[in-house]
Amino acid sequence: MKFLEDMPRFVFFTGKGGVGKTSLACATAVHLAGAGRRVLLVSTDPASNVGQVFDQPIGNRVTPVVGVEGLDALEIDPESAAEQYRERILGPVRAALPASEIASLTEQLSGSCTTEIASFNEFTGFLAEEDSHYDHVVFDTAPTGHTIRLLQLPGDWTGFIDSGGDASCLGPMSGLDKHRDQYARALAALTDPTTTRLVLVARAQATSLAEAERTASELAGIGIHATHLVVNAVLPADGHPDPLTAATRARETAVLAAVAGPLADLPQDRIPLKTVNMVGVLALRALLSPEDTAEAPTDAAPLPAGGLPGLDALVDELAAIGHGLVMCVGKGGVGKTTIAAALAVGLAARGHRVHLTTTDPAAHLDATVTETPDLPSLTLSRVDPAQAIADYRAHVMATQGQGLDADALAALAEDLQSPCHQEIAVFQQFSSMVGQARRQFVVMDTAPTGHTLLLMDTTGAYHRDTVKTMAAGVRFTTPLMRLQDPDYTRLVMVTLPEPTPVLEAMAFRDDLARAGITPWAWVINQSLTAARPTAPLLLRRARLETDPIDTVTKTAARVAVVPVLLDEPVGAARLLALTDTHTMTGSTP
């Protein structure tokens, strides 16, 4: 494998959700430890599943990986990091200040900006550490949009501090100035290819490779250059005439042959699809093995007969309601964008006014929906963080800046350069979209789990502030209250029929429950069981779906299953076909 050769001290795996970043990061860490190196595996994903891959608890502490000598792992927990960050700031002054002021400062430090800074400080600490006893630090990152934000932050915060931004007050930015050198060392490490290797991970799919190309371009713009491309889970040749196998292989071959732009110049590795789920050390060691897995045994039990409904059942039930917010949530790479688009197209085709939008910084709805001339009631938009912060800054300058003298205006403009304001700006656009669902359908494709949890955190903080400031007896409705209202908002949890995505979806469900939000329905996407393959490799993988599907169906009020398709579900016609699938019959769509 080219990406394993002459490995520098730091290596990042990044890419679109669901491409296998975590599996590759874990397998690489196991490989390096097996070569006698001391290795630390760090997950920067707020919804990390490294512990699930190794089948042992990891968490927000350095933990030895059982069965792999020389390998430790750590999952940066945003909430735990934020709590420790708050205590470092408040601890020294707690005895010197009145309880009321401590309570006020604690509230200031309870928002998503504090969470971001705290997680960021832990991340940069590893990059800036000069005396580490680890030979390699392997970073398993969050899906692309969140990771680009993380990798931009060293430069953003360094620039903010260098420009004279106030980082000394007691508040979310307290103590940033003392981290100036740490941020500078982190930035130097990120931009030095002899110190840091940035591996783009993709699938042999047009959307996945386009995402990798965008990532390479955006990071190059801030001086961070991708060094390798790994195309994961490529279907190996087995000579079987299965229609799904033939269609998949033809599509993958065409897509890989068309790789161009910045990706074409990168050293490339292709990893074949395996017959086992990537759970446990043995499976991880096999991932980087060149062994041909196409000759999988086929003497296992037959596939279940099926009988679960398709997306049409969900669309019919929603259409009878007439309006409301439909949020598709879940882990990156499970197909939230496709499911959200299919629901929106299905509702629009039934005559309803529908606005389809996304909060995912890396999502491109127009590439999925494409032509919609026959659906005039369907509109599209996206919450663009860059545009959101530009609009927010302009609005604040035009309103709060009115009447200020030149010095005060300059101070306000300086404060607005803080990276913290991006979360506020995105939240405002999110709130506006939520409010539109009073009179029509708003179908929302959300960012992957961790990023959505941070958005929910901002929503909760806004709700608490509103409750405290409203006079007694005044009626009000916050975005959180709308999300908690089952007659207004219906959450659709999207997952894959695999153990790790289902476990992560269950954990996300529990996080939402603590905020008073319950999923309305679950969608099990890209099911081989529903596609009824006959090729040995795909048949073996289909049999692995039984337990994950059972886990979901035993706990969810509504479940729909979407099969793996012969053609990618791009374009209004193919999306509409998804909502015409009535049951999990035995036919390949």
> Please, are residues 338 and 24 in contact by the beta-carbon 8 Å criterion?
no
Identify the helix (H) or strand (E) that includes residue 552. helix 546-553
- Active-site position among 18, 70, 332, 335: 18
45 carries an active-site annotation = yes
Closest CA to 37 of 7, 12, 14, 67: 7
159 carries an active-site annotation = no
3-state secondary structure of 57: coil
d(CA 28, CA 65): 14
Hey, which residues does 11 pair with through a beta bridge?
138, 197
Copy the structure tokens of residue 111: 């928002």
Copy the structure tokens of residue 328: 């598709």
- Active-site position among 14, 23, 337, 529: 23
Q: How many CA atoms lie within 13 A of 82 on its CB side?
A: 20
Q: How many CA atoms lie within 13 A of 506 on its CB side?
A: 17
d(CA 27, CA 57): 17
Copy the structure tokens of residue 161: 């501090």
- Active-site position among 500, 527, 579, 581: 500
Over its C-alpha atoms, the chain yields an Rg (Å, rounded) of: 24
274 carries an active-site annotation = no
- With vertex at residue 48, the alpha carbon angle to CA 151 and CA 212, rounded to the nearest 5 degrees, is 45
d(CA 241, CA 224): 44
Length of the chain: 589
d(CA 441, CA 439): 7
403 carries an active-site annotation = no
Identify the helix (H) or strand (E) that includes residue 452. helix 449-469
253 carries an active-site annotation = no
Identify the helix (H) or strand (E) that includes residue 212. helix 206-220
80 carries an active-site annotation = no
Give the pairing of strands 196-203 and 324-329: unpaired
Q: How many CA atoms lie within 13 A of 235 on its CB side?
A: 24
What distance lies between CA 365 and its chain's CA centroid? 16
**Strands of the 354-358 sheet, one edge to the other:** 378-380, 354-358, 441-445, 324-329, 489-495, 519-527, 559-563
Backbone angles phi, psi at 99, to 5 degrees: -60, -35
Copy the structure tokens of residue 532: 């009824």
Say how many C-beta atoms besides its own lie within 10 A of residue 391's C-beta: 14
Give the pairing of strands 71-75 and 63-64: antiparallel
3-state secondary structure of 322: coil
500 carries an active-site annotation = yes
Give the pairing of strands 39-43 and 354-358: unpaired
> What is each CA distance from 82 to 45, 87, 511, in whole angstroms?
15, 9, 17
d(CA 495, CA 488): 23
- Active-site position among 16, 21, 331, 336: 21
- Active-site position among 14, 15, 16, 20: 20
Which residues are known to be catalytic?
A: 18, 20-23, 45, 500
